[in-house]
Structure 1
Amino acid sequence: MKQKLLITMAISGLFLSASAQKVKFTEYDMDNGLHVILHQDKTAPVVAVSVMYHVGSKDEDPQRTGFAHFFEHLLFEGSDNMKRGEFMKTVSSNGGQNNANTSQDRTFYYEVFPSNQLELGLWLESERMLHPKIDESGVKTQNEVVKEEKRLRIDNSPYGKFTEKIFDRLFQGHPYRWQPIGSMEHLDAAKLSEFIAFFKKYYVPNNAVLTIAGDIDVAQTKALVQKYFEEVPKGAPVVKTVYEVKPVEKEIIDTAYDANIQIPAIFAAYRVPGMKSHDSQVLGMISTLLSGGGSSRLSTKMVDEKKTAIQVAAFNYTLEDYGAYITLALPNNNTPLNDLLKDIDAEVVRLQTDLISESELAKLQNQFENSYVSKNSKMIGLAENLANGYTFHNKDTNDVNEELDKVRSITREEIREVARKYLNKNQRIVLYYLPKK
Structure 2
Amino acid sequence: MKKRLIGVLTLLLFLAGATCAQKVDFTEYNLDNGLHVIFHKDNSAPVVTVSAMYHVGSKNEELGRTGFAHFFEHLLFEGSENIKRGEFMKIVSNAGGENNANTTQDRTYYYETLPSNELETGLWLESERMLHPVINEIGVKTQNEVVKEEKRQRIDNQPYGRFAQEVFSRLFKNHPYRWQPIGSMEDLDAAKLDEFITFFKKYYVPNNAVLVVAGDFDTDKTKKLINSYFSEVPKGATVVQPTFQETPITKAIVDTVYDANIQIPAIISAYRMPGMKDRDSFVLNMISTVLSEGPSSRLSKKMVDEKKNALQVGAFPFSLEDYGAYITYAIPNGDAKLNDLLKDIDEEVVKMQTELISEHDFQKLQNIMENNFVNANKGVEGIANNLADAYTFHNNTNLINTELSIYRSITREEIRDVAKKYLGTNQRVLLYYLPKNSQ
TM-score (norm 2): 0.95
Corresponding residue for residue 430 of structure 2: 430
Residue-by-residue CA offset, 1:316-370 (whole Å, 9 max, x unaligned): 0000000100000011121111110000000001111111011111111211211
Corresponding residue for residue 414 of structure 1: 414
Q: 1:149-228 to 2 correspondence within 5 Å?
A: 149-228=150-229
Corresponding residue for residue 329 of structure 2: 328
Corresponding residue for residue 76 of structure 1: 77
Q: Distance between the aligned counterparts of 2:44 and 2:361, measured in 1? A: 35
Q: Distance between the aligned counterparts of 1:251 and 1:215, measured in 2? A: 52
Corresponding residue for residue 302 of structure 1: 303
- SS of the equivalent of 1:257 reads strand
The question of whether the paired residues in 1 share the 8 Å contact of 2:20 and 2:377 is answered with no
- SS of the equivalent of 1:290 reads helix
Q: Distance between the aligned counterparts of 1:375 and 1:242, measured in 2? A: 30
The question of whether the paired residues in 2 share the 8 Å contact of 1:289 and 1:296 is answered with yes
TM-score (norm 1): 0.95
Residue-by-residue CA offset, 1:282-322 (whole Å, 9 max, x unaligned): 10011011000100000000111011111000000000000
The question of whether the paired residues in 2 share the 8 Å contact of 1:33 and 1:205 is answered with yes
Q: Distance between the aligned counterparts of 1:368 and 1:95, measured in 2? A: 35
Q: 1:18-417 to 2 correspondence within 5 Å?
A: 20-393=21-394, 395-417=395-417
Residue-by-residue CA offset, 1:219-252 (whole Å, 9 max, x unaligned): 1111111010000000011011110111111111
- SS of the equivalent of 2:315 reads strand
Query: 1:19 deviation in Å?
Result: 6.4
The question of whether the paired residues in 2 share the 8 Å contact of 1:159 and 1:261 is answered with yes
Counterpart of 1:324, as a letter, is A
Residue-by-residue CA offset, 1:106-144 (whole Å, 9 max, x unaligned): 000000000000011000000000010110000000000
The question of whether the paired residues in 1 share the 8 Å contact of 2:257 and 2:431 is answered with yes
The question of whether the paired residues in 2 share the 8 Å contact of 1:20 and 1:372 is answered with no
Residue-by-residue CA offset, 1:183-202 (whole Å, 9 max, x unaligned): 00000001100000000000
Q: Distance between the aligned counterparts of 2:20 and 2:369, measured in 1? A: 13
Q: Distance between the aligned counterparts of 1:103 and 1:165, measured in 2? A: 17
- SS of the equivalent of 2:24 reads coil
Query: 1:20 deviation in Å?
Result: 4.1
Counterpart of 1:342, as a letter, is K
The question of whether the paired residues in 2 share the 8 Å contact of 1:101 and 1:107 is answered with yes
Which 5+ residue runs of structure 1 have no aligned equivalent?
A: 1-17
Which 5+ residue runs of structure 2 have no aligned equivalent?
A: 1-18
- C-alpha RMSD over aligned residues: 0.9
Q: Distance between the aligned counterparts of 2:21 and 2:168, measured in 1? A: 35
Residue-by-residue CA offset, 1:244-272 (whole Å, 9 max, x unaligned): 11111111101111000000000000000
The question of whether the paired residues in 1 share the 8 Å contact of 2:41 and 2:216 is answered with yes
Query: 1:21 deviation in Å?
Result: 2.2
- SS of the equivalent of 1:69 reads helix
- SS of the equivalent of 2:336 reads coil
The question of whether the paired residues in 1 share the 8 Å contact of 2:20 and 2:378 is answered with no
Percentage identity across paired residues of the two chains: 70
The question of whether the paired residues in 1 share the 8 Å contact of 2:275 and 2:320 is answered with yes
Q: Distance between the aligned counterparts of 2:297 and 2:58, measured in 1? A: 34
- SS of the equivalent of 2:51 reads strand
Q: Distance between the aligned counterparts of 1:124 and 1:53, measured in 2? A: 15
Q: Distance between the aligned counterparts of 1:367 and 1:279, measured in 2? A: 18
Q: Distance between the aligned counterparts of 2:126 and 2:176, measured in 1? A: 28
Q: Distance between the aligned counterparts of 1:28 and 1:403, measured in 2? A: 22
Compared with structure 1, are the counterparts of its residues 19 and 74 closer, same or farther at alpha carbon in structure 2 (3 Å cutoff)?
Answer: closer
